Chains A and B, each alone.
Chain A
Amino acid sequence: MLAYVLKRTGAAIATLVAASIVIFIFIHLIPGDPIYVMLGDEATPEQVEALRIRLGYDQPIYVQYFYWAGNVLRGDLGTSIFFQEPVTLIIRDGAETSLLLATVTMVWIVALGVPVGVLAAIRQGTWIDQGLSGIAMLLASIPTFWVGLYLILIFAANLGWLPSSGYPSIFEEGGLSNLRYLLLPSLTLAAPNAALILRLTRASMLDVAKEDYVRTARSKGIRPYRVVLRHILRNALLAVVSAFGFTFAALISEAVVTETVFALPGIGRMVVQSILRRDYPVIQGVILVIVCLYLVINLLVDISYRYLDPRVDLE
């Protein structure tokens, strides 16, 4: 087990290095120059040149990379060109919003996708199944921002039950009740992903239901709900759990849109704004953190597999 984790960690580090190089090169390929963004159109060529040298952007790109990578190893992600603040601080500020949003969203996805998928499967072919599968198809197809805007319109603008935008920290005034600010964004973000998990759960349940061992379970005389939960669902979850890794990747890209629609101070919105400002250190730092998270989540998914399926031998 430990050997497996170490091996996977080694592979993860190699992935990180490769990802960091790709990120670095692609960001510098974006047309535009952070110097002009900072100094504006009025700047003289001398001022531009002086700042370029001060930031180290006059150096060849591989020198810049090693300089940046060296600092990253020391825990320093650099300083934002726009905010003049350490990137680690900027990420820390956005992390609370984004991690809470992701967590609440995952809870919605699991709590809605799996049980409703089970329901659709055990009512296969009935109007319940067709209705649920139809709704799932609809939710998976309509764009995130549209769902978000309509939720705002209904629950914030018309009914006035929930706030439409922003997010004060749970460590500030209001405490945990501030989580209500994340309710609409998390539902928006969960909708298409919960729909996919629902469809996957349903399909996987129907596949497993055809297995010989399910017939064996029925022949024992145990109650139908136990056959469904202990024999069908237990095995169907194997396929669903492996999808959680991909779902997380989808969450990251969709979070960018959701955080923008709901004006949430998260790292998704931060990275979009930083790209517009050509704030290289922030973009690089945020993407690096996201890649790290993605690798960790997938490692956790693979390890959890071992506990769900005794046939999987990680060594």
Chain B
Amino acid sequence: MLKVRNLVVAAGSPSAELDIVSDVSFEIKRGEVLGLVGESGSGKSITSLAVMGLLPHPHIWVRSGAIELDGADITEEPPHLRVERGHGGVSMIFQEPMTSLNPVLRIGEQIEEAVRVHDGSTGETARIRARELLEMVRIPDARLQLNAYPHELSGGMRQRVMIAIALACRPQVLIADEPTTALDVTVQMQVLSLIRELCDAFDMGVLFITHDLGVVSELADRVAVMYGGKLAETGPVADLFRNPLHPYTGGLMGCVPDPGAGHRRFRTIPGQAPKPGEVPQGCKFAPRCDHVQPVCRSGAIPAVAAGPAHAAYCHHPLSRELT
């Protein structure tokens, strides 16, 4: 089980540092998909890189907080050290399947490389495992595709190869950072159902990062909404959609076009997401919030709960059905 506790990620230099993710906590259980939702710049990708141990040092680093996997502290531990120390694995697939594979190496070599590290196997054994992985992610003619170069495959196929590489690392947790954003709509659904299926089959936790609430409602068990580097709201997917607490969550849902409602104009949240360094005091969302009060503009924001697992950080939650 993955636990992220009070994670603070800073950027810049130690003399002029800036928190770009602050006080983020969440958990992912085996076989569970956590959807991490937010706009560009909300800190969701940085959070996922921190969990991977791949923050670009020395420019961005974990200032405080802890990341634990099955009881082991893996904070700021890059993947090769996790392998060395026998800590559990976190794998990641990225937004751009076009640029995420090495253009000069064959697909087979790129998968086998991961197999050799995580299984300790070599030669023919590694090759057979690579073929099995390609079959697992439903790539037709797996044996032939092992010899293909990335540029010979379509975007959807490349994302499947990325998933095969991720699985080769035998991860306890798979991070998927907007894995379908760059794909055709029809291919998107195939990749999403593949991820869900593999999550169940391997009893993996999945951290699914997206800005698409539709995808979250299809795929996720629980949702965490991020805004301005902080968590705004977390909860089981059904509760959160039925009963959003944070005005930002409510606003995001209002932005999803409803084909039945016959709106002429899309609804939007006025203003822009804050840039790092221009994050306001108090509630980060206050400048764009319809429900803003003077108390929102300074100090700590209290947590409000609407159930055992459903919470938001807000002075004036949308719903009063609190328990």
Contacts and interface: CB of A to CB of B under 8 A. Distances in A.
Interface of A: 211-213, 215-224, 230-231, 234-235, 238, 308-311
Given A213-B99, A216-B101, A231-B102, 13 more contacts: A213-B103, A218-B80, A219-B52, A221-B80, A221-B89, A221-B117, A221-B118, A230-B105, A234-B105, A235-B103, A238-B104, A310-B103, A311-B151
Q: Pick the 3 closest A-B CB pairs, nearest first.
A: A221-B79, A221-B83, A220-B114
8 contacts: A213-B100, A216-B165, A217-B113, A219-B92, A221-B82, A222-B113, A234-B105, A310-B151
Contacts of B117: 220-222
B118 to A, nearest CB: 7
Contacts of B169: 219-221
Interface of B: 52, 54, 78-80, 82-83, 89, 91-92, 94, 96, 99-105, 113-114, 117-118, 149, 151, 162, 165-166, 168-169
Contacts of B89: 221
A311 B94 contact: no
A217 B80 CA distance: 10
Contacts of A223: 80
A154 B118 CA distance: 54
A224 B208 CA distance: 27
Given A220-B117, A220-B165, A221-B89, A213 B79 contact: no
Given A221-B80, A310-B149, A235 B165 contact: no
Given A213-B99, A216-B100, A221 B149 contact: no
A224 B79 CA distance: 10
A215 B162 CA distance: 12
Q: Which of A220, A309, A310, A311 has the most CB of B within 10 A?
A: A220
B80 A212 contact: no
Contacts of A234: 102, 104-105
B50 to A, nearest CB: 13
A310 B92 contact: no
Nearest to A224: B80
Contacts of A309: 103-104
Q: Which of B54, B80, B89, B91 has the most CB of A within 10 A?
A: B80
A211 B101 CA distance: 9
Nearest to B118: A221
Contact of B54 (A213, A215, A230, A311): A215
Nearest to B109: A230
B100 A220 contact: no
B15 to A, nearest CB: 16
Given A218-B79, A220-B117, A211 B149 contact: no
Contacts of B113: 217, 220, 222, 230
B99 A212 contact: yes
A237 B103 CA distance: 13
Contacts of A217: 102, 113
Contact of A211 (B79, B92, B99, B168): B99
A89 to B, nearest CB: 46
B67 to A, nearest CB: 15
A239 B237 CA distance: 49
B104 A219 contact: no
Nearest to A125: B58
A311 B148 CA distance: 11
B94 A212 contact: yes
Contacts of A220: 79, 113-114, 117, 165, 168-169
A222 B101 contact: no
A123 to B, nearest CB: 13
